[in-house]
Amino acid sequence: MKHTFFKRTLLIISLLAILGILVYEARSIYHTPTVKGTHRTRTAHADRLVRHLFSLTPTPDKVYYQNKVIVLMYHEVTKTPPDPGALKLSNLTRQLDEMKANGFHWITMKEYTDFILHKAKVPDNAVLMTFDDGYESFYTDTFPVLKKYQVPATNFLITSTISNPKHIGIPKLTWDQIHQMHAEGIDFYNHTNDQHAYGYSNTARTKQKPLLMGPVYSKKLGRMETEDEFKQRVYTDLGMADKKLLKHLHNDQNVLAFPYGGYTKETLEICRSLGIDVTFTVKRGINSPGQTNGYRVNAGGIHNIPEVLVQYMKEGAPLRPLPFAQGPNKVS
């Protein structure tokens, strides 16, 4: 009996030690400065440990949830991530392999909106793939992988940046690239025309908030916007974005992802007045019929570990932090 107790105690201590190492590795990835080369080594080491811990036998026939949809959120996905908000293409491939092996079913945005608005049926373990911001790498890197795996997906576009030679920053898509992908089953919807930014929320210009979250300081006016001016700005911008999408893609429905997840009651009312009946936040959770302002799980980020993400999905995307950070703390 003493021998059995000793073995159990040793096993518990070993498991705690492994978890301690994993937490240390995950924290050090985010908070410890490193010399060139050691960051990659540490990341790979932590990744191997977690993969070993979560590499369980696939369960392709198991039902994890029914009449619900998990929406995954990505930003840039590329072979060589330029910043912590981007996901390695190889990790996206691993995610898709894990989802496929474990019986998840990808659906289209049309299937999702019919489910949300009209209680249409969706497959068990349904997943909607969404990508924000319209990066050029979506065409060069991500799209070929989605096409190979036959995964339907949606990209939310900041329409003022599309085919815009004056755009500063990470290259964005062109309408020609979008037309090509749209013809092969990729959907594109609204991420505002030109409101993907923060503005000053007080006259002293010491505090900021997303532009869709209320009146901000107007440099042009030299003062804070009024409530009516804020509403008109948002109405004009969102309407312009949807007009561009209608012109180029002939979209028959309007869907919006709020930049930074920022919205207010007034913003939602503006959306409904424009015929935008389905919107998305950046809050974690799983979606049921009637959840018109949808939850999304952050599946991107350079430190994403596919096995951990899929295990979290198997649990039905509970409202708790994902173990071993799945992406950047601040998403757009």
How do residues 257-313 score in pLDDT, each as one tens digit? 999 999 999 999 999 999 999 999 999 999 999 999 999 999 998 778 999 999 999
With CA atoms as reference, report the closest residue to 303 among 129, 4, 81, 136. 81
CA 176 to CA 162: how far, in whole Å?
Answer: 10
Give the Cβ contact number of residue 261 at 10 Å: 18
With CA atoms as reference, report the closest residue to 87 among 95, 75, 98, 99. 75
The answer to whether residues 116 and 287 touch, using CB atoms and an 8 Å cutoff, is yes
Question: Any idea which of 30-34, 202-206, 240-244 has the lowest mean pLDDT?
Answer: 30-34
- Which secondary-structure segment (H or E) carries 214? none
Give the Cβ contact number of residue 1 at 10 Å: 5
Count the helices and strands in the chain (H runs, E runs). Answer: 10, 15
Cβ contacts of 72 within 8 Å, gap of 6 or more: 127, 128, 129, 130, 296, 297, 299
Q: What is the DSSP letter of 142?
A: I
Three-state SS at 1: coil
Cβ contacts of 206 within 8 Å, gap of 6 or more: 200
Q: pLDDT tens-digit profile of 2-48?
A: 555 554 554 455 444 445 544 434 443 333 333 334 344 445 555 55
Ramachandran angles phi, psi of 210, nearest 5° = -55, 145
The answer to whether residues 128 and 72 touch, using CB atoms and an 8 Å cutoff, is yes
pTM: 0.84
